[in-house]
Structure 1
Amino acid sequence: MTVLTEGEALELLAQGAMELEGRLVDASNTTLRAEITLDGTTRRCVYKPVQGERPLWDFPDGTLAGREVSAFLVSQATGWGFVPPTILRDGPLGPGACQLWIDEPEDAEALIGFVPAYDVPEGWLAVANARDDAGDAYALAHADDPRLARLAVLDAVLNNADRKGGHVLYAEDGRIHGVDHGISFHVENKLRTVLWGWTGKPLPPEAVEVLERLGAGLDGALGEQLEEHLTISEVQHTRLRVRRLLRRGRFPDPPQEWPAVPWPPV
């Protein structure tokens, strides 16, 4: 299957005819898989209609789709390409977020998971301890992989409250993708993630350069784009998070006031 450029994928998502295939039952909000076709090109997509969003006490109703799109816009601005092409469009169940489907090869090796506490793989970073029903000790851990480190920086910018291991996808071309960003961009610190392995460590020089570019974009065209989907205050706090990361020059520390890892973690 021919790989689409980002521009081709966005055009397909925006203008293609959508046909629903079924619902992804593990999702807490209505999440549908669909086929989308334009000029003989067909791909799968994930469609999350606004009317299927479950109300959350700390996020305004009807805003999760806009946060999904905003996460793509920020990811796009970093140049890292973690979030698959995502747009806001009308669909069979009304307006919603539409995101290109990422196929994972059957032999994809996950970089995040629970491993025996006494046998954390070499090159992996332990994040938290746990025990199974039999009382055996396990560690929640992830690979010390530069791709995951970049994703951790992106999550800190997005204030992602739900970076589970299952929200990291592994594409056939070796790239990783982050999905499910509906509860991001809150004005309060709500970062919850399984990627705490670099806590307090210096940011890579590459990440500093990206954050500087991102800050400039948030003061200009990127900030204007985000204001179409987020409140002015949420965009302002995104700028503040970028500035704080640059000022500190280190990966953030886990919060002490609430759980730092989402449930379930993977």
Structure 2
Amino acid sequence: MHPADPAAREVLAQGRIEVEGRLVEASNATLLCSVEHDGAAAECVYKPVRGERPLWDFPDGTLAGREVASYLVSEALGWHLVPPTLLREGPFGPGMVQLWVDTEEDSELVDLAEPADVPEDWRAVLQAQDNHGDPVVLAHADHAALRRLAVLDVVINNADRKGGHILHAPDGHVFGIDHGVSLNAENKLRTVLWGWIGKPLSAEATEALGRFRALMEGELAADLAEHITPKEVQAINERVQALLGEGVFPAPSGEWPAIPWPPF
């Protein structure tokens, strides 16, 4: 099922969830499931709250709600960068359920490569050395959807935008996943998408942020408050206002590691 399918949210919300396996590389319990409702079927990721690993800087049991809140922010911006995501009961209790997205093979948008192998139209983020002392570059494509994703990450204060959390679907759509450590009131932005530091926001981004700010004066703030604290909701407003006021992609604050490690 495609994320744009109007039935996707109903299937996720109402369907019977059957666990098919576990994604063992994830730090929290992450289960690959099938879900079926009224003749429609899909695959999804289910992250039960009881499987969340405690973190020192995020309250226990809140990661699933942060994933849902990040989806709500993406939808309010009008960019549909996060697959349909909701909270519901599952086989192991309440948790986050998110539509599974198939990816295009050999179509990476972020890479760690030798300097000569980085495409000319890509943006370098970090120069480093591999285990043998040879130079490598962390870089990403100069892609319109990645620019939107970079703006989303600033708005939700994403503390863990790894390359592996960016999915390139066969139809060309780009999605971001794994937003459990987002929306903290303190500055924790940590991402591989630093290639536009100081570059002006596009007119599209400015218009989307303006619409988003207006929505925050209505029901959106209340919807977000079901998943995060009032202080964290207010921090979203402050980050949006800062983006609109400065009009450029921000630089790392220096208060927090700028890039997640490992970056994939």
Q: TM-score, normalised by structure 1?
A: 0.97
Write the mapping of 1:123-134 to structure 2, written as runs, cut at 5 A: 123-134=121-132
**Cα separation, 2, equivalents of 1:76 and 1:6:** 14
Gaps of 5+ in 2: none
Residue of structure 2 in register with 1:17 after alignment:
16
Write the letter of the residue equivalent to 1:219: E
How far the C-alpha of 1:208 sits from its partner, in A, is 0.2
Number of residue pairs aligned between Structure 1 and Structure 2:
264
**Cα separation, 2, equivalents of 1:238 and 1:180:** 18
Write the letter of the residue equivalent to 1:75: S
- Larger CA deviation: 128-137 vs 65-74: 128-137
How far the C-alpha of 1:95 sits from its partner, in A, is 0.2
- SS of equivalent to 1:54: coil
**Cα separation, 1, equivalents of 2:63 and 2:3:** 26
Write the mapping of 1:195-210 to structure 2, written as runs, cut at 5 A: 195-210=193-208
Q: Is the 8 A contact 2:190 2:256 kept in 1?
A: no
Write the letter of the residue equivalent to 1:198: W
Residue of structure 1 in register with 2:27 after alignment:
28
Per the alignment, do residues 223 and 6 of structure 1 end up closer, same or farther by CA in structure 2, a change over 3 Å counting?
Answer: farther
The percentage of counterpart residues that share the same residue type is: 58
**Cα separation, 1, equivalents of 2:116 and 2:2:** 42
Residue-by-residue CA offset, 1:150-191 (whole Å, 9 max, x unaligned):
100000000000000000001111101000000000001000
How far the C-alpha of 1:115 sits from its partner, in A, is 1.5
Residue of structure 2 in register with 1:101 after alignment:
100
Write the mapping of 1:233-252 to structure 2, written as runs, cut at 5 A: 233-252=231-250
Write the letter of the residue equivalent to 2:197: T
- Larger CA deviation: 165-174 vs 254-263: 254-263
Among 157, 173, 189, the alignment partner of 1:175 is: 173
Residue-by-residue CA offset, 1:91-145 (whole Å, 9 max, x unaligned):
000000000000113x341010112124421100110011111111000000111
Write the letter of the residue equivalent to 2:139: A
- SS of equivalent to 1:7: coil
Write the mapping of 1:219-230 to structure 2, written as runs, cut at 5 A: 219-230=217-228
Gaps of 5+ in 1: none
How far the C-alpha of 1:41 sits from its partner, in A, is 1.2
**Cα separation, 1, equivalents of 2:247 and 2:258:** 21
How far the C-alpha of 1:6 sits from its partner, in A, is 4.7
- Larger CA deviation: 215-224 vs 66-75: 215-224
